[in-house]
Amino acid sequence: MATTSYESLFPDVIPVVPDCPDSLIERNIRSAVIEFCEKTGIYQSELDPITTVGNIYEYDLEPPSGTVVHKIMSGVHDGKDLEPISSGLLEQRKPKWREQSNNGVPEYYIKQGQSLVWLVPTPSATMISSTILRTQLKPTATSTGCDSDVMNEYRDTIINGALFRLLRTPGQSWTDLTGAQIYGSLFAEGVNLAERKARHADEGVARKVTYGGINRPYKTRRRYGSGG
């Protein structure tokens, strides 16, 4: 996957917060991208197939570099759908499932944190590339960029999210609580539209655009200036 750096958004952010350090700008862009991905589910990827191994039920999740798995959307083992399940419900349906005598063909998956998935029943045999997971991803807290498709298509929403965070920073020369509120509204609107798109539910929706539109960052400095 191609990656676009957070730094590439600096030219659209710096004019609104001219005295803000670059490191703080990058941190807030990253935070906006992470929040955007979490709330919309727009960043989706099918991970490389998992080779299941006999008597092993724990498997590493291996998303692209700089990302973690936010959610597992679906799973398939040997051509059959896997059912997501909670640990509590699993214990009810499959008591003593960890015992080797109960090994078999996986029917369920349980996401364990951001880097591990359980397949249950525990596979009884090794099968190469037998399991495929489709996931929702998000950048890591140390990432320097995100998937180019996400960054390019939702560039202005991400900028709005970063400016919302930066302008509400207390006690700084660029602090602007009114502007932050406006950018926050734009960011929320962009998140809602992207979330509907991720669910394929945006067809036929009348889109209401305010404050200059989703695809143009709102320049608070111009609005409050005497020149308009």
pLDDT of residue 15: 97
pLDDT digits (tens, 9 = 90+) for 26-38: 999 999 999 999 9
Regions in the chain scoring below 50 on pLDDT = 202, 204-228
- Comparing CA positions, the residue from 3, 52, 18, 54 lying closest to residue 167 is 18
Q: Is 81 exposed, middle or buried (0-12, 13-18, 19+ CB in 10 A)?
A: exposed
Query: What is the per-residue pLDDT for 216?
Result: 43
Q: How far apart are CA 33 and CA 13, in angstroms?
A: 14
The pLDDT of residue 113 is 87
The separation between CA 52 and the C-alpha centre of its own chain, rounded to angstroms, equals: 27
pLDDT of residue 203: 52
What's the CA gap between 192 and 188, in Å, rounded?
6
The whole model's pTM is what?
0.84
10 Å Cβ neighbour count for 18?
Answer: 10
